[in-house]
A and B are shown apart, each in its own frame.
Chain A
């Protein structure tokens, strides 16, 4: 019977958090034998969310933090929640350039397009203190 595994960690909201979070997810995946392809999608999405919060949310290590929680159901589904304390912003919404538009290289929001394309499902809410982005990745 599949065993559910869960981890969570907080990171100071600085550039170093991206690599630290990637290592964190990588270790979780290795420990729980999560399929490489599924884990890779999650790692890319979390990196893009963090980069977006740093670049556009102006996250500061002194004032803000990120959290990541991940849950693997043991066979088919990886759920990841990313939170940050920057201003309310919904990265799951399609704004600006449509996701179907050709890559121009200069337009913004392409990291979030990547996130929306790689995740099987996404949801967003602001709980009054934090942006909370939930992403689901399915073994296909």
Chain B
């Protein structure tokens, strides 16, 4: 798996996840997500290039979401494939982190629109 972090305005960032977020790859994002959760007020997690998602990867996303939300920040999941979206919904994570399908919706969700 590969990931890319693009800093945005007003203490926001976009994280692009690419490939398989499986048991062996989940460790790659644990620390970066933790750092971002501690330093940003808004995060967009772009899932459009993610091809696999295991529960351990979801756990890292949720941990980051809780850390951001505790300090009043926002996180959003952008454009998952249909299969990834089903995994997210089945896991229950969509009750905690919104899922959107467009860049505009994502920016709005983290308070950047307008």
Contact = CB atoms under 8 A, between A and B. Distances in A.
Interface string B31-62: 00000000000000000000011111011001
Nearest to A112: B55
B87 interface: yes
A48 interface: yes
Interface residues of B, number: 25
B83 interface: yes
A103 B54 contact: no
Contacts of A36: 83
B56 A111 contact: yes
Interface residues of A, number: 28
B24 A114 contact: no
A133 interface: no
A118 B86 contact: yes
Contact of A111 (B54, B63, B65, B83): B54
Given A18-B22, A111-B55, A105 B62 contact: yes
Contacts of B91: 103, 110, 113-114, 117
Contact of A110 (B55, B66, B83): B55
Interface of B: 20, 22-24, 52-56, 58-59, 62-63, 65-66, 82-83, 86-87, 90-93, 95-96
